[in-house]
Amino acid sequence: MNNVLTEFAGLYEKFESQFNNRHFPEKPEKLYDAAEHYLSLRGKRIRPVLCLMGNELFAPLKQDAFFAANAIELFHNFTLVHDDIMDHAVLRRGHQTVHKLYGESTALLAGDVMLIQAYDYLSKINTTHLPKVLSLFADAAKKVCEGQQLDMEFENRDHVSLDDYVNMISLKTSVLLAASLRIGSVLGGAGPANQENLYSFGKNLGIAFQIQDDYLDAFGNAEKFGKKHGGDIMSNKKTFLHLRAMNVLEDGKKVEYAKLLQGNDETKIEPIIRIYRSCGVDEWAKKLKQKYFDLALKHLEEVAVVSVRKNSLIHLAESLMERQS
CA–CA separation, 171 and 203 (whole Å):
9
| Chosen residue from 106, 195, 200, 210 binding a second copy by CB under 8 A | 106
| Chosen residue from 44, 95, 142, 224 binding a second copy by CB under 8 A | 142
| Chosen residue from 101, 119, 286, 295 binding a second copy by CB under 8 A | 119
DSSP characters over 88-114: T--EETTEE-HHHHH-HHHHHHHHHHH
Q: Which is nearer to a second copy, 30 or 286 (CB)?
A: 30
CA–CA separation, 180 and 46 (whole Å):
9
Q: Which stretch binds a second copy (CB under 8 A): 3-11, 126-134, 189-197, 236-244?
A: 126-134
| Chosen residue from 5, 41, 59, 145 binding a second copy by CB under 8 A | 145
User: Going along 89-227, which residue ranges are E strands?
Assistant: 91-92, 95-96
H or E element: which one contains 295? helix 281-302
**Is 282 exposed, middle or buried (CB count within 10 Å of its CB: 0-12, 13-18, 19+)?**
middle
SS3 229: coil
Q: Does 105 bind a second copy (CB under 8 A)?
A: yes
Residues ≥6 apart with Cβ < 8 Å to 44: none
CA–CA separation, 86 and 255 (whole Å):
31
Per-residue x/- mask for a second copy, residues 188 to 227, rule CB under 8 A? ----------------------------------------
| Chosen residue from 39, 52, 53, 85 binding a second copy by CB under 8 A | 85
Residues that bind a second copy (CB under 8 A): 27-28, 30-31, 82, 85-86, 104-106, 108-109, 111-113, 115-117, 119-120, 122-124, 127, 130-131, 134-135, 138, 141-142, 145-146, 148-150, 152-153
